[in-house]
Amino acid sequence: MPAASAVLVGTPKAGSVDEIDAIATFLGDVVDDCYQYNVSVLGSVRSLQGLKSVGVSRIRDKMLDRLVPGSDVLSESAGQARTAFHAYAAEVERIHRRADQIKGDAGSYLQSISSAMSEIERIAREIRIAVSYSWQTVPPGRLPDPVLSRAADDLSSAERSAAKQNLRMLYESQWLDAAVRWNKALERLNRLKSEWALLIEERREAEDRVATALQDTPIGQLISLGSGGGFSARRAIALGIAGELWGETNEATPYSTSHPLLKKLIDAEDGSDVQNSSVSPEEIAARWSRLTAEEQQALIDAVPGVIGNLPGLSGEVRDEANRAQMTFFRAHPDLLTPEQLRLAAGVQRILSREAEQIATGRAMPPVQVLALNMADAVPKAAVAYGNVDAAGNVTWLVPGMLNDATEGIRGMDTASRNLYSRQGRVPGSGGANAVIAWLGYDTPGSPAELDFGVLNSKSALAGAAQLAREINGLDASRLQIDGALPSRDVAAHSYGTTTASIALKDVKHPVDTFVMVGSAGLDTSKVPSLDGLNVKDVSPGQKAIYTTHAAGDHLAPGGAGLSGRGQPNPNADAYGLQNLSPVYEGALSFSAEGDPSRNLKGTDGHSLIGEGSEPGAIGTSASRGRGYLDPRTESLNSIAKITTGRIDPSLEQSFVRTESEQVELHYNSNFWSRAPISSKGQ
């Protein structure tokens, strides 16, 4: 019989809570030290008030402009880290406590199995049969046929039968009782093994959370940024919090957005607002091709922030320019605002991962930074997974609420990689695909934080204009490269469907598919019908517009209802709020509920990537592994097939055109009514 430690594979226990608490205590001391340091510095500033000279002014300015802000950054980082370690300690304490309970219970169940095994073996000896059961194999509930001794050879058939029956009556209930105890103990032990494995996963997630929390502190962001080639974390931290390293200041080269050659591209030397240039992406693509190689390189080198954010240029050109921007930011972290630093650190983590892969072989997938706009109040970015200049299939992934580039880059990185990987495994796809994590607009915040932008279309309208321009720009670039367009698809999530649907009215070339995932509704004043979207037909009279919604996701239809936007998922439920939304006809609905026969999981909440053991309240978030774009989910599997144009017969047969599910509901003498929005208009 094995010990409990041999049955419970791996361990969720490592280190101690005391060690974690010691780190948190140290970080608390750092916060206190920073406060005392600031008091001392400000006291020194006051002592200099009566003195006037250039040298004194410089010292005072350095104290106020460098030392105090730097100390504040350190204090903020230490405080955030301390909070993260306190949360980590609580999680570890819970996990350790439960692990000890599981281990003790497992030992008890193993003892029960051992006792039952001994009882079965004793009974087997009494009835003269040979049995051999491993501890994991429960014996049958019925007593095997007893064997009589040789002394019974002289008995009649009836007497032998009676003797066996006596043995059965004597031992059958004992055998059954032992078998039942064995079975119950084994079942409970197997449940404990599953819980043990879950604890190991929870410990891993707790470690990931504390690591992420540390990365998200200002010091952590500086460390991430400094991990890029040619620089060090120490240098980045010193420059970021004090503006100098060992007395040496970092004299920044002016970051220019102006160059005479820009007039040949955008009719102006100033490219600070290049994304909104009056020159069309098609014209920019043509003008770029007429520049000499030397002129092109001069612009990339001189104004990378302009070239890296200019729709109409190739992915290769924009990537080179944006990597040049990253080199500048790594050299001058002190020039970045907190929001810019957070985004730059996120982009650098993606680039560092790619560099590590290249060092050991090749990047999979290769990465292109298609946009890195630090000029706007809300920084923006776009990262492509795959080569957008050569891919036969390009998918734009558009996020929703709470996914500004600074907030959403980590989750969109995961979601995009998942979609890219799954697309590459779709039979017949050829693997030449690219997925663009488009974080190019100011997404609305959460109503829970008193930001009600998600209930109107202001953010969607601004984002749609830029998304349409970006799609048109990539199309123009591809036409310049090889004279043909790849398959182009748009997959949008939540409020991103509001944004993308408006953008698809203004794209020059129809996209191949439009997939709405957990839609928060479409603006009926801007999109009166799905027929107005520039999306190809999948069959006569049917546009290639698809939609999915998980039954456990009550957030998306609730948002649509509260905002009065149209709902493309007629069966979506939000405790009645969905009935405030009119219904769009003409989309092809597919399931996100899972398919056990194909080992595909269902989505149980609103998020693209799930986390935690349970979904959030009213489905605000999905649980671990059950987000819309988590691996091995039915939704990811279907979205990958749709966006690569490889819809198999089984998926095709599952589609339900939304008009067939429409209902009309009335409230209080027709005060509210739910009505269809025709695919041909209202």
Q: What is the pLDDT of residues 585-610, one digit of tens each?
A: 999 999 999 999 999 999 999 999 99
Range 107-136 average pLDDT: 94
Residue 616 lies in a domain: no
Contact yes or no for 284/309 (Cβ under 8 A): no
Residue 501 lies in a domain: no
pLDDT in tens, 213-235: 999 999 999 999 998 877 788 88
What's the rounded Cα separation, in Å, for the pair 301 and 293?
12
Residue 154 has pLDDT above 60, yes or no: yes
Cβ contacts of residue 25 below 8 Å, gap of 6+?
none
Residue 303 lies in a domain: no
What's the rounded Cα separation, in Å, for the pair 564 and 580?
6
pLDDT in tens, 314-333: 999 999 999 999 999 998 99
Residue 234 lies in a domain: no
The residue segments making up the domain with residue 16 are: 4-215
Which one has a higher pLDDT value, 671 or 54?
54
Nearest residue to 73 (alpha-carbon basis) of 227, 217, 250: 217
Task: Output b/e per residue, 427-445; b: 16+ Cβ within 10 A.
Answer: eebeeebbbbbbbbbbbbb
Residue 437 lies in a domain: no
Residue 430 has pLDDT above 80, yes or no: no
Beta strands in 11-55 (DSSP E): none
What's the rounded Cα separation, in Å, for the pair 187 and 62?
69
What's the rounded Cα separation, in Å, for the pair 536 and 544?
6
Q: DSSP for 450-486?
A: T--GGGSSHHHHHHHHHHHHHHHHHHHHHHHHHSS--
Helix (H) or strand (E) holding 93: helix 68-126
User: What's the CA angle centered on 466, arms 462 and 468, to 5 degrees?
Assistant: 115
**pLDDT for 676:** 59
Q: How many domains does the chain have?
A: 1
Residue 29 lies in a domain: yes
Q: What is the mean pLDDT of the chain?
A: 91
Contact yes or no for 311/473 (Cβ under 8 A): yes
**pLDDT for 250:** 67
Residue 64 lies in a domain: yes
**φ and ψ of 660, to 5 deg:** -75, -10
Q: What pairs with residue 392 in β-bridges?
A: none
Contact yes or no for 127/167 (Cβ under 8 A): yes
Residue 681 lies in a domain: no
**φ and ψ of 167, to 5 deg:** -60, -40
Predicted model pTM = 0.88
Please tell me whether residue 42 adopts helix, strand or coil conformation: helix
